[in-house]
Amino acid sequence: MSMNTRIINIASNTFREAVRDRVLYNLIAFALLLTGAAIFVGQISIDIERLVVVNLGLTAVSLFGVIIAIFIGIGLVSKEIEKRTLYTVLSRPVRRWEFIVGKFFGLAGTLVVNTFFMAIGVFGALLYVAHKFTRPDALILVALYFIILEFLIICSLALLFSSFSSPLLSAVFAFSLFVIGSFADDLRGFAGLTHGFMRWVATGAAYLVPNFSTLNVISAVAHQHSLGGQLILQNTLYALFYTAMALSGAVLIFERRNLK
């Protein structure tokens, strides 16, 4: 059996676990939030319905997904070690790196499916308030794509922390990085203002944390600003590179870990 098949099997099981643990129930909360917002905005605002729905909808997609990515991601490895479910997996012809990669794709798949249903909700709410779709609305798809790239990075970071620390610490690390990364552009700006040794430290830190600010185009899309193809390419390459690095780190640590 090929390694690809094993990775797919582990990913499918991770997805099944998320579904059975009712992770997708968050969609109900999301739907209620968006429906309420659409009705509310439709009644009181003048000409800014679209702006509010797109902003609120995409921000909710991002936040709901980040919370899921962190809280499932941090348990992906540690929970399997703690409950010893890993023993009967790794005593089969499964490489440790295949397990990590399979887990990653399982969680990423869960988030993509979740985002897909949320996207339907966002477009539905938009249609409700604006009564029609316009060409700039297609940019919402780009924003959703960037949100998914954001999820990939967070999933890989949660997995990285999960491979060596407790779920609580992993959650703290992952959430801190998400917050810092959301202000990565400001951090880079600050690094540019410093001098000497401090400049090296600040620049290093600014480039080490994930740059979520470049992936956040929600405001631009809400205001119907155009997004260049170059940005899409840059963000794609950046997210894939960062994810690959974080996953490699997780694999390197997990390959050496004793499962006591």
Partner 1 sequence: MPAIEILGLEKTYMVGFWRKRPKRALQPLHLSVEEGEIFGFLGPNGAGKTTTLKMLMGLVFPTAGTARILGHEWTDPEVKAQIGFLPEQPYFYDYLTAHELLDYYGQLSGLPGKDRKRRVDEVLQRVGLTDVKGVQLRKFSKGMLQRAGIAQAILHNPKLVFFDEPMSGLDPLGRREVRDLMEQLKQEGKTVFFSTHILSDAEALCDRVAIINKGELRGVGAVEDLTSTVQGKVEVVWQGTQIPASMKALGADCHVTGDTVRAVLPENQQDAAIDALRRERIRLIAITPLRTSLEAYFVEKLQHSETTAGKMA
Residues in contact with partner 1 by CB under 8 A are 1, 5-6, 9-10, 13, 16-17, 20-21, 83-95, 256, 258-260
Token pair listed for 63: 């936040």
Nearer to partner 1 (CB atom), residue 225 or residue 256: 256
* Euclidean distance between CA atoms 251 and 8, whole angstroms: 17
Nearer to partner 1 (CB atom), residue 21 or residue 186: 21
Quick one: how far is CA 134 from the chain centroid?
28
Nearer to partner 1 (CB atom), residue 16 or residue 225: 16
| Minimum CB distance to partner 1, residue 256 (Å) | 7
Residues 6+ apart with CB under 8 A from 199: 191
| Minimum CB distance to partner 1, residue 26 (Å) | 17
Nearer to partner 1 (CB atom), residue 223 or residue 256: 256
* Euclidean distance between CA atoms 205 and 198, whole angstroms: 10
Cβ atoms within 10 Å of 110's Cβ, excluding its own: 25
Q: What is the DSSP secondary structure assignment for residue 114, as one 8-state letter?
A: H
| Minimum CB distance to partner 1, residue 6 (Å) | 6
| Minimum CB distance to partner 1, residue 77 (Å) | 13
| Minimum CB distance to partner 1, residue 82 (Å) | 9
Closest by CA to 17, choosing from 109, 95, 122, is 109
Nearer to partner 1 (CB atom), residue 6 or residue 50: 6
122, 53 contact by CB (below 8 A): yes
Nearer to partner 1 (CB atom), residue 106 or residue 121: 106
DSSP letters, 114-171, are: HHHHHHHHHHHHHHHHHSS--GGGGHHHHHHHHHHHHHHHHHHHHHHHHTTS-HHHHH
| Minimum CB distance to partner 1, residue 259 (Å) | 4
